[in-house]
Amino acid sequence: MPKLRKKTQEKRIKPELGGGFRDYGSGDAILRQRLLEKIHKTFEDFGFDPMETPAVERTEVLLGGEKESGKIIFNVRGSKEKKSDLSLRFDLTVPLARFLAVNPEIPKPFKRYQIGNVWRGESPQAGRYREFLQADLDIAGASSTDADAEIIAVIWKTFKNLGLSKFIIKINNRKVLNGLPQYAGFPEKKLPELLRLVDKKEKIGEEALKKELKKVFKEKVAAKIWEIIAISGDTKTRLIKARETLRGNAAAEEGINELIEIARNLNTAGVLPENWEIDYSVARGLGYYTGSVFETYLTDAKEFGSVASGGRYDFLTVPFTGQKLPTVGGSIGVDRLYAVFEKLNLLKKKQTSVKVLILNLLPELKKEYLELAQVMRAANINTSFYLGDDRAFQAQLAYAVKKEIPYVVILGENESKRSTVTVKNLVTREQKEIPKEKIVEYFKR
């Protein structure tokens, strides 16, 4: 187009990404796809069905769940519009609550999963991203702790299916923390601040948290808080200790009883004890959790923070319907998990899924090349036909090597006369001439 050609003289546009955004080239995308397949396969084994909501929602709806999130939201505005009431979703939970409010007829329990991006409109900073891929699963309309335990069991099974073994799911119940004002003797209104503080424990460490608690609370109060959130030992010990210490504290007792039921279910469902523990310091920052809460850390890569988290949020539909709907869910941070796989070298990255490159050597043999490609593709062998401008044999071979395609198929004059093809393995450098009609068989061995 003449219009575009003229641009050579025009000012160049920097081919840059916006701050906090990134590309995933083929090597990364292939691996991420493999992770996602395992994740959604596991979710479906457990009876969760997919669901999709749009990336853009009414801002009012997004803030309905939790006002604090407004600070980190991305507003979206059509270029002809003066003002905007739309924003990009910052999680997949508030959109689910909106969906449930609008579709009250859906049979409950409703078990759904959604895999999609979420966006955070924070200022870009080195190493902090503003677009994340999350895999969420939720059970709406189930108040039994069987549902809480199932969410945790699915997360566990997903991690196992991803080949991970060194991880720990730390489980708590908000009700235990809700019992702390009464137990430790501080005003109810200071609870949110306490939740924010203990939420930082994995990041800043026990000693730093201890200090921070002492800054905010009186020494005696801080000590009583510490007494609970630092309870250690095996699962049984942790449950018994907390129950004894908090006896008579209604909220906390309810929370501990729920933890006992969840622990029992996890054992029955075969969730390995080495992969989960009760931790009374787990709080989850978000305001909407009402019961169980959990975070998941990779023991070899704690610096990545929690890679899967969730909990029970029975009141999230209240702003929309005025009625509570008992719901529990979990969310896997796929991008974060992917970063862990990369850092720990847990999966071998490959640049391409192409198995075979058919070289494009002689124009008069193009018909044979295309027919060959057709046969291979019909047999589900990922096959590329060389389409580059450099038609020299060496150039095409070099291309296959650079792309890390494992095999090339050579069909020249001699092969054509003999109705054969030469298959060259670019890893072992071996090559072999085989009858043309045996080609699928050769690759299907």
Residues of this chain, 272-331, that bind a second copy according to CB under 8 A: 287-290, 315-316, 318-322, 326
Which of 127, 387, 429, 444 binds a second copy (CB under 8 A)? It is 387
| 72 vs 250, beta carbon nearer a second copy | 72
Least Å distance between CB 442 and a second copy?
A: 17
Distances (CA, A) of 381 to 17, 191, 358, 378, 437: 35, 59, 12, 7, 15
* Interface with a second copy in residues 146-185 (CB under 8 A): 146-147, 150, 157, 174
Is residue 98 near a second copy by the rule CB under 8 A? yes
Q: Which residue has the tokens 């009012």?
A: 60
Least Å distance between CB 112 and a second copy?
A: 6
Q: At CA 73, angle to CA 130 and CA 204, rounded to 5?
A: 60
Least Å distance between CB 187 and a second copy?
A: 13
Q: In what order do the strands lie in the sheet with 407-410?
A: 383-385, 356-358, 407-410, 420-425, 431-435
Is residue 119 near a second copy by the rule CB under 8 A? yes
Cα pseudo-dihedral 107, 108, 113, 118, rounded to 10:
100
Burial label, 78 (beta-carbon count in 10 A; 0-12, 13-18, 19+) = exposed
Least Å distance between CB 52 and a second copy?
A: 4
Q: d(Cα 196, Cα 286) in Å, to the nearest integer?
A: 9
Is residue 248 near a second copy by the rule CB under 8 A? no
Going by C-alpha positions, the residue among 367, 368, 363, 361 that lies closest to residue 420 is 368
Q: d(Cα 241, Cα 223) in Å, to the nearest integer?
A: 16
Which of 78, 127, 187, 248 binds a second copy (CB under 8 A)? It is 78
Q: Fill in the DSSP letter of residue 16.
A: P
Is residue 102 near a second copy by the rule CB under 8 A? yes
Q: d(Cα 288, Cα 310) in Å, to the nearest integer?
A: 11
| 231 vs 359, beta carbon nearer a second copy | 359
* Interface with a second copy in residues 323-382 (CB under 8 A): 326, 351-354, 357, 360, 366-367, 370-371, 373-374, 377, 380-382
Least Å distance between CB 223 and a second copy?
A: 26
Is residue 231 near a second copy by the rule CB under 8 A? no
Is residue 445 near a second copy by the rule CB under 8 A? no
Span near a second copy by CB under 8 A; candidates 10-18, 217-225, 245-253, 424-432: 10-18
Is residue 121 near a second copy by the rule CB under 8 A? yes
